[in-house]
Amino acid sequence: MKFKILLALVFANLMQAQKFYFPKTATTDSVILEKQIPELALKVITEHQSSKNKPKSTVTFLDNLFRLQLAAKDYKNSITSLADYRKEYADHNMAGNKSLAYEIYSMAKQMEKDKKISFPNALQAAFTTKYESYPDPLIAKIGTILDGDVKEYKKSLKAALDKQKDKDSIDYTSALALCKNYVNYKTYSSIKPQVMQLFKVKEQEKFIIESKNLTLKNGTTLTITVVRKKENTSPLPVILTNNIYAGELVDAGMGKRAAVYNYVGAVVNTRGKRGSNDPNNPFEDEAQDLYEVIDWVSKQPWSNGKVGMIGGSYLGFSQWAAAKKLHPALKTIVPQVSVGIGIDYPAQNNVFMSYMMQWIRYVTNNKLTDEATFTNYPKWDSVNTTWYKSGRSFRALDSISGKPNKIFQRWLDHPGYDKYWQKMVPYKNDFAKINIPVLTTTGYYDADQIGAMYYYKQHHKYNKNPNHYLVIGPYDHAGAQSYGYNYVYGSGSILIDPVARISIDELAFSWFDYILKDGKKPELLKDKVNFQIMNSNTWKHVPDLDKMHSSTLKFYLQDRKDGSSAFEKPKTEQFTKQTIDFKDRDPKYLYHKVSKQDSVNVTHSIHFESEVLDRDIVLSGNLSGVFNVSVNKKDFDSNTLLYQVQPDGKTFLLSTHLTRASYAKDNSKRHFLKPGRKEQIPIKNSFFMSKKIEKGSKLVLLVGVNKSKSWQVNYGTGKNVSDETIKDAGEPLEIKWYNDSYVEIPLYKD
């Protein structure tokens, strides 16, 4: 008993050590706040640098450190930490530019102190120094970085202060968040008006930027922004981007992206954006509208008649929409991380995602983008949680989020890949007519990788000899359409091999030079498929996707209690039974210890482990195979994850696969399972990965059922899943996973 009391006292003292004095008067008095924040920041810095609070990620540590130093008014050290942060974040300044506003502010405050000059003069000098030190490709992007939302930063600061009302102390986590919110508001509110004016002057010295409305033959109005370098007076090829994420600075920045590489940049907004009063129905009109837009830009005096297209995500989808009816002036497209409409968004392999509601509001709430609503992540987490716990139909998600939405409901009316989706992009034989050069970029961590790869595979399926190149590497959705970071963006722990830290922009415009200006083919494009093997620091180049692997390894669903190999077909038929109660909405998270170092989340899954590998292997490609199952319902959504357990015990996620069983064989037609009968579910459209897996590792395979607030819940009745409710749950889902089921792992060997 004494030991327990002593332990409790020690714990209480540790918790107390994490508390800092912060007077409640600071939450309402700005003068007191200005005095207290630097003192608080100094204390937080000490704790931040201690071993118990130091983040595992060096990127995160330095990101927090420079902000804390700014809050502490230690501008000299904040500049040093910012430089260290950029070096850690990326090998070059291009990817580290998101910290630009903080650097300019720190430099200005240090100049104000050292040179005894006014802050406005110091700010002008700091801005000019940084602007003139940047290469043109970076200058094209800094407008949106400097244009921080001061009102939102102020709102976030107030929320952080409100949490401290009636308190005279603050814990470490809250203090760190408060200091960061303070720095965000202080930085942008101090520099934005003057810096944006200075930026505008610099922009006008270098570029001609013009926006106008185009009226199409059917009466539709679209806003287009054209950007040219002043020094370029002769007609040039035009690089066109179709942008739903409209905004004056955003559109100008996308146009400058092309102009700095000595092209004319043209950015057209979708219907309902900026100067357009037409209905905004995302994805539905590009295939019709872009033909006329391309026709218009190709005939302007600043155009030499050649048009290329570029852009990522929705902007990548737009290029495939434009290719459905090719204009003769469109000579090449560079679709990056392309949304596969109806393929991987708003449903992945026919399973609708909750995120679709958040995105629809983002792009349709006004004529620009509703950033405040979109980035209100606590709100959307609450919306999705409320829906999930309520057991209401997925159709109710729009009402739960605030109000009914016609677009959301219309999408849900098309659970299969039917004509509604097919008409938006090339379909089957449409791909045979696409004979222009194409460069696709995507990444192993790209949320739209399945979409990007769908277009690539369909183009090769229906066109006998497509001039289509693919670059795929360790990039996420942002990295595969911009610059090579040192880490997978946001992770801070998945280190990218040095050879993969490339500028996707430089690759894209080298491609445009090659196609539109008779330049040299980019060095990286040694063959049609160019992929980077993680953990090997090498790129490989092969003529087609099938050559990404040279053999396969079948991983069978067997428990191996008899010492058998996971990679050998079982001699006798057995099964592992799994039960899922859809009525249970209590979020119980279950973990399985796969090593002394790490666990994996096995909630709603069963797991299978391989033996320890006795040699290095290179996993390269995407998972295939078949699940042999017997279920007591007509349908379910299967979820598969493949992990590597490294020799040091840490886990590494290699690939995932989510699919609706009734659509697994044909994504356009639903074929129900027959309860009690052994059925086959093919594994198709999983995520690609290429990674060297070291000797001494083992593989862990998780198979199970999707039951999450992030996706629809499929109760298995055979109704449209969007209409099912918890009342349809009935008896728990029972699945027999037969041991002759296997996941086929693709292996590469030179």
Q: What is the CATH number of the domain that holds 605?
A: 2.60.120.260
Q: What is the Cβ-side half-sphere exposure of residue 536, based on CA atoms within 13 angstroms? A: 21
Instruction: Give the distance, in angstroms, between the CA of residue 717 and the centroid of all CA atoms in the same chain.
Output: 33
Residue 3 placed within a domain:
no
Residue 6 placed within a domain:
no
Residue 151 reports pLDDT greater than 70: yes
- Considering the domain architecture, whether residues 294 and 234 belong to the same structural domain is answered as yes
pLDDT recorded at residue 95: 52
Query: What is the DSSP-derived secondary structure letter of residue 52?
Result: T
- Considering the domain architecture, whether residues 460 and 444 belong to the same structural domain is answered as yes
- Considering the domain architecture, whether residues 504 and 369 belong to the same structural domain is answered as no
Q: What is the pLDDT of residues 101-147, one digit of tens each?
A: 999 999 999 999 999 999 999 999 999 999 998 888 888 888 888 99
pLDDT recorded at residue 142: 87
- Considering the domain architecture, whether residues 355 and 332 belong to the same structural domain is answered as no
pLDDT recorded at residue 490: 59
pLDDT recorded at residue 736: 98
Residue 209 placed within a domain:
no
Domain tally, the chain = 4
* Mean pLDDT for the stretch of residues 35-53: 89
Q: What is the 3-state secondary structure (H, E, C) of 113-158?
A: HHHCCCHHHHHHHHHHHHHHHCCHHHHCCHHHHHCCCHHHHHHHHH
Give the CA angle between residues 684, 690, 695 to the nearest 5°: 115
pLDDT recorded at residue 90: 75
Residue 14 placed within a domain:
no
Q: How confident is the model at residue 9 (pLDDT cuts 50, 70, 90)?
A: very low
Closest CA to 587 of 350, 385, 290: 385
Report how far apart, in Å, the C-alpha atoms of 419 and of each of 110, 151, 425, 669, 692 are.
61, 44, 10, 12, 41
Q: What is the pLDDT of residues 312-370, one digit of tens each?
A: 999 999 999 999 999 999 999 999 999 999 999 999 999 999 999 999 999 999 999 99
21 has which bridge partners? 169
* Mean pLDDT for the stretch of residues 681-694: 97
pLDDT recorded at residue 451: 98
Q: How confident is the model at residue 11 (pLDDT cuts 50, 70, 90)?
A: very low
- Considering the domain architecture, whether residues 564 and 709 belong to the same structural domain is answered as yes
Are 533 and 690 within 8 A, CB to CB? Answer: yes
* Mean pLDDT for the stretch of residues 453-472: 97
Q: How confident is the model at residue 157 (pLDDT cuts 50, 70, 90)?
A: very high
Are 636 and 733 within 8 A, CB to CB? Answer: yes
Closest CA to 579 of 743, 729, 742: 729
* Mean pLDDT for the stretch of residues 697-722: 97
- Considering the domain architecture, whether residues 177 and 56 belong to the same structural domain is answered as yes
Please provide the average confidence, as pLDDT, over all residues in the chain.
93
pLDDT recorded at residue 483: 74
| Cα Rg, the chain, nearest whole Å | 27
Q: How confident is the model at residue 589 (pLDDT cuts 50, 70, 90)?
A: confident
Top-confidence residue, 53 or 458: 458
pLDDT recorded at residue 491: 59
Residue 298 placed within a domain:
yes
Q: What is the pLDDT of residues 479-535, one digit of tens each?
A: 899 876 788 865 557 889 999 999 999 999 999 999 999 999 999 999 999 999 999
List the end-to-end C-alpha distance of the chain, in Å, as a whole number: 64
Could you give the CA distance from residue 464 to residue 329 in angstroms, rounded to a whole number? Answer: 23
| Residue numbers of the domain that contains 711 | 551-748
| Residue where one domain finishes, among candidates 373, 395, 413 | 413
- Considering the domain architecture, whether residues 523 and 556 belong to the same structural domain is answered as no
Residue 427 placed within a domain:
yes
Residue 14 reports pLDDT greater than 80: no
| Residue where one domain finishes, among candidates 142, 174, 204 | 204
Residue 210 placed within a domain:
no
pLDDT recorded at residue 6: 39
* Mean pLDDT for the stretch of residues 293-311: 98
- Considering the domain architecture, whether residues 442 and 571 belong to the same structural domain is answered as no
Top-confidence residue, 14 or 38: 38
Closest CA to 465 of 434, 486, 494: 434
pLDDT recorded at residue 93: 53
- Considering the domain architecture, whether residues 58 and 197 belong to the same structural domain is answered as yes
- Considering the domain architecture, whether residues 240 and 149 belong to the same structural domain is answered as no
* Mean pLDDT for the stretch of residues 254-275: 97
The helix (H) or strand (E) run that includes residue 624 is strand 624-631
- Considering the domain architecture, whether residues 452 and 399 belong to the same structural domain is answered as no
Are 258 and 396 within 8 A, CB to CB? Answer: no
| Residue where one domain finishes, among candidates 386, 413, 440 | 413
